[in-house]
Copies of this chain bind each other. A is one copy, B any other.
């Protein structure tokens, strides 16, 4: 029986691996058991955020020393999904997922436990990014990850993907080459890359039907979304990296995951529902003993495209100085951080077609009773 564990390490810089090194050094973390990493680095989260790549390079260099495999080879096997931007109370950190094996008779689990599957697609061409070709590739990769975890569609709670974002130069090259990229604007292309990945998740989970989708609906028809997808996009990857999480009777250990939709950026019901589903109650502030059971929190959201929030104007979409994604991460980090009493939250903006327009998703991993 497989057991999935989560180790959460904070950082003062993208190449600060001191907590990870300590955990390996003290035997708490066996590097050979690492299957995936999901984390926040402290860059701006946009095209020119190189903190994600710096962390990735630093991490795999270090693991290579322990595992005796070249860094680039490890990188092709272990999804390392990073989101830039630790605005406000958010703490740069990463959750390291490990899988160990256990004698099934010894298993004490009395219900479904945290299961993890991962997959990496082939590299995407720039011309495929943000197009239906990417939707198909992502759907296939999510199915591979589900099979890896032995999870069926109803058991999946959360699918985190990292997909490539093209630079202005790359997009211009495609156009010069006679093909039509999804957009010449790198910010828009980054958004379309997230849409295509979200649709890939929706198709793999049966929430969406491939035949009903087309590129004209992207960023337009907000009714076509996945309720389990959380997508990041960045220049530091060249393929789609997939981590699928759910609960399964076939997995052991002490952890469970719960996810819940967030209706908008002021929604407390989402976090409270997820806490309740994990047996942590709905009383805030959370008692310390409940708070300590939480092992990881993932939030996805975006500024309401109407420019209003519960009937009042917000300013996130009209700001030339602070990117809308930076605004929303700061707000959601503040809200969910206050609920769980901790800034070590993965909050990612850019929730296009990931939940309803203006809303998003929260997923929490906690120790079961």
Whether A334 sits at the interface, judged by CB under 8 Å, is yes
Given contacts A54-B53, A266-B343, A333-B334, contact A168 B88 (CB under 8 A): no
Q: Which residue of B lies closest to A11 (CB)?
A: B313
Are B48 and A307 closer than 8 Å at their CB atoms? no
Q: Are B338 and A267 in contact (CB under 8 A)?
A: yes
Whether B338 contacts A10 by the Cβ 8 Å rule is no
* Dominant secondary structure at the A interface: loop
Q: Which one of A26-34, A129-137, A241-249, A322-330 is at the B interface?
A: A322-330
Shortest Cβ distance from residue A286 to the other chain B in the assembled complex, whole angstroms:
9
Residue numbers in B under 8 Å from A320 (CB-CB): 44-49, 187, 323, 325-326
Type the 1/0 row for A140-181, where 1 means its CB is closer than 8 Å to any CB of B.
Answer: 000000000000000000000000000111001000000000
Instruction: Knowing that A46-B319, A88-B316, A335-B338 touch, tell me 10 more A-B residue pairs with CB under 8 angstroms.
Output: A14-B53, A46-B320, A47-B319, A50-B50, A61-B61, A86-B314, A88-B88, A91-B313, A169-B313, A335-B337
> Can you sample 27 A-B contacts with CB below 8 Å?
A12-B167, A12-B169, A14-B50, A15-B53, A15-B57, A47-B318, A48-B315, A50-B51, A51-B54, A54-B57, A61-B61, A87-B322, A88-B314, A88-B327, A89-B314, A91-B313, A167-B318, A172-B306, A185-B188, A186-B317, A188-B188, A268-B338, A310-B342, A320-B326, A322-B326, A330-B331, A338-B339
Chain A positions within 8 Å of B, measured between CB atoms, are 10-15, 42-51, 53-54, 57-58, 61, 86-93, 167-169, 172, 184-188, 219, 235, 265-269, 272, 282, 284-285, 305-310, 312-323, 325-328, 330-335, 337-339, 341-344
